[in-house]
Structure 1
């Protein structure tokens, strides 16, 4: 999984999950990974099935129909120290790390799998959430 440091952002804050998803999408758009329409597909995807994965992570990504909007595979990694709620007031699902992904063909499944395996260990998520620099986050995904 190739990580672009330009797609890593630390110490971000969002008032709601839609704002957080749009931010992840805008990083992918600005980096030339997806067309602008991909952002609305990311929001639609979360409405269909939550992109919250547990262990304080969310993986915003587009719908199957939005694959045509993907120009190249990329991952935006966004640290949200205060967290953003992907659940409800009654049933909060707080994410402190966001992985906005876009993948060519089946590469998005590979990205989700690699992120999920790494983040299955909550200690790894804590390390990412506590990281003080972009380089510190990037090194966890080098290999």
Structure 2
């Protein structure tokens, strides 16, 4: 199973709240069989405890330390919000949902952070209408 296939990308979304954006990112993971539905609740619980905003208009919501049994396979989802959604006073345009089986989430986080550290990539990812263009950016790291 691919970690980040085209079906895991949702472009041009409008989200009224960070919880709505996190839920959408989690539902993509559920729909594509990376996690069970209860994992989405864990993503929301994690966000209530600690913000998953990482800078550069990017958030990476994920589950709790105790979520391992709710993860079926490692995967990444991406929700693009071109108008942005507020995460604790910060504007977020890219919401990456992640699920890492066997502690793979740290490596996945690092790979996303690597791509998102370049502001040119953020600009492209925030506004492209091409899933293929997004996957091209990530093909070397994921």
Q: Deviations over 1:68-113 (max 9, x none)?
A: 10000000011100001011xxxx2111011100010121000101
How far apart, CA to CA, are the structure 2 residues paired with 1:61 and 1:115? 13
Q: Which residue of 111, 120, 123 maps to 2:120?
A: 123
Structure 1 counterpart of 2:49: 48
- Kept in 1, the 8 Å contact 2:94–2:125? The answer is yes
- TM-score, length-scaled by structure 2: 0.94
- Kept in 2, the 8 Å contact 1:3–1:142? The answer is no
Runs ≥4 in structure 1, deviation > 4 angstroms?
Answer: none
How far apart, CA to CA, are the structure 2 residues paired with 1:118 and 1:6? 20
- Kept in 1, the 8 Å contact 2:3–2:74? The answer is no
- TM-score, length-scaled by structure 1: 0.94
Q: How many residues align?
A: 139
Q: How does 1:1-143 map to 2 (within 5 A)?
A: 2-87=3-88, 92-143=89-140
Which ranges of structure 2 fall in alignment gaps of 5 or more residues? Answer: none
Alignment RMSD: 1.1
